[in-house]
Amino acid sequence: MEQAFVEAAKRQSGLEAAKAAFFASGGTAQQIPTGIGKDSPGIATVVKTPYGYRNIEAQKAKRGRMITQEERDKIAGELMSCKAAGMTRNKACKHMGISTTLARKIVADYSLDYPTKA
């Protein structure tokens, strides 16, 4: 651990010397000798690991959940039974736990006669 402190102190003193030379020159840039600074050769670069959702392998979908054809058939049957019970389309959606957009798409796909109002 002490070796790491010694190396850090060397780097820091080199940077302080470069900073002092910069201010002593009146603020003009000068060539910094090799071995001082993070871009110098011999300094190992640390690769950052990606974070967030970019590194998660997931099925690409537009939005929401993916619904199979069997589930769509079942939802269409349940919608028609809700219509027979006298529910409006919005009440049926809340009862079934689906969105009104999904119900509208299923009604259009299956050409069902289910108006939004009773």
Q: Is the dihedral of CA 14, 19, 25, 28 positive or negative?
A: positive
- Spatial CB neighbours of 113, under 8 Å, sequence gap ≥ 6: none
Percent of the chain with pLDDT over 70: 67
The predicted pLDDT at position 43 comes to: 61
Q: Quote the CA–CA distance of 8 and 20 in Å, as a whole number.
A: 18
Alpha carbon of residue 69 to chain centroid = 29
Q: What letter represents residue 4's amino acid?
A: A
Over residues 91-100, the mean pLDDT reads 91
Dist CA 97 CA 65 (whole Å): 13
| Residue 74 phi, psi (nearest 5) | -65, -40
The predicted-structure confidence for 37-48, as pLDDT tens digits, reads as follows 666 666 666 666
Range 11-32 average pLDDT? 78
